[in-house]
Structure 1
């Protein structure tokens, strides 16, 4: 518990998490307001549409997670941490836990804020959370952000430089997976198993929260069920974190 408290103080005593959280909320809220305000009888507002911009907020949260570890390498404070806690695995696991919890909270606020804004903008629309798919589409954003933050932190540990780690995380998340689909013949099959495409399956499911409307989030091509998709991405995050911790234990801080 002491390690968790120390990591919480280190993270929340700096400005970057607060600015990143505010940016994530403004981005998702702003895009949600824009999307939902354009809905009409042909393209009705749905629960799925309220989370149309969650990936923008997730990208910001991943930047936050990357900075949380690369900033320590940049200023050398990671050396102090490892001197105080010789068990590097425990120190980094505590940091990952705190970052994941912060990302979970930001993700949930972000998701329900977007949903709440949509209900205010379109009070006549059917935006009630009446099914499991509806709840996952909204409340599932938090766990998705938490796991994505762990992945981003792991990349930060491996790369150690803020600019390089952030560039790698954002390029992969925003572009690289989609570019795989351009590979002739096998691109679409590979894409089905890429981690963030699978994570998107957990959030969107098979599109049930869109109520059959075309006005909502693009669906994942993964063949897994939503809960298996979450387990798949969680395993990916844990393995990547384990690799990064093992690497950090072997090299100089």
Structure 2
């Protein structure tokens, strides 16, 4: 519990987490508000539309998670931490618990905030009610994706140790590489289906309730996994990268 308190204090006594949380909420809820305000009255707004831009907040939270590690390396405070806790694993696990829980809460705040504001702004809310299991997955599932994404970013930050490098890897991979890989002849589409952030999108958007999506429309099938299988795949990649980072941090000099 002491390590958790220490990591909580270290995280919240810097400005970057606060700005990151505010930016993540502002991007997701703000853009969703614009979408909802301009949604035509003739067509009902589905639950999916309320969380359509959740990825914007996800990338911001992943940058925040990476900074939680790289900032300590930048200013040398990680050395004092490792001197106080020589096993090195315990403080990193405590940091992961704090950052992952915070990321999950921000994800829930962004998704339910976007949904609630959409309910207030759209004229036709007949399909915006959260009634089915799919509806709950679309909205509440954002918190799980944020949490897993934060764990992945923590692992990248611990491996790279440089803020610019870690942030570049996260954003370039998510925003550029996963899209560009689809242009590779013959095999691009097959590879893209298994890219982690693409698969995470299947968890949020895949297999929507057909009652709120017109025939032939809606998100396409992604890969061969079910929505929950897709989250398991994304979470497994995040855990694997984080575990590798723990092994590397344990073996190399601080």
Specify the TM-score bucket, using the shorter chain as the normaliser.
over 0.9
CA contact (8 A) 1:201 1:226 kept: yes
Give a deviation string over 1:72-99, Cα, whole Å, max 9, x none: 0000000011011111112111111111
Please give the residue correspondences for 1:62-141 in structure 2 after superposition, counting only pairs within 5 Å.
62-125=62-125, 126-141=127-142
Change (3 A) 1:43 1:171: farther
1:182 matches 2:183: yes
Q: What corresponds to 2:239 in structure 1? A: 238
- For 2:179 and 2:111, locate their aligned partners in 1 and report how far apart those are by CA, in whole Å: 24
Task: State the aligned residue count.
Answer: 252
Partner SS for 1:140: helix
Q: Which moved more, 1:37-46 or 1:124-133?
A: 37-46
Please give the residue correspondences for 1:1-253 in structure 2 after superposition, counting only pairs within 5 Å.
1-40=1-40, 44-125=44-125, 126-208=127-209, 211-213=212-214, 218-219=219-220, 221-253=222-254
Partner SS for 1:136: helix
- For 2:10 and 2:44, locate their aligned partners in 1 and report how far apart those are by CA, in whole Å: 45
Unaligned segments of structure 2, at least 5 residues: none
Q: Give every structure 1 segment of 4 or more consecutive aligned residues whose post-TM-superposition deviation is greater than 3 Å.
A: 41-44, 216-220
> How many angstroms does 1:193 deviate by?
1.3
CA RMSD of aligned residues (A): 1.8
Unaligned segments of structure 1, at least 5 residues: none
TM-score by length of 1: 0.94
Change (3 A) 1:220 1:29: farther
CA contact (8 A) 1:48 1:209 kept: no
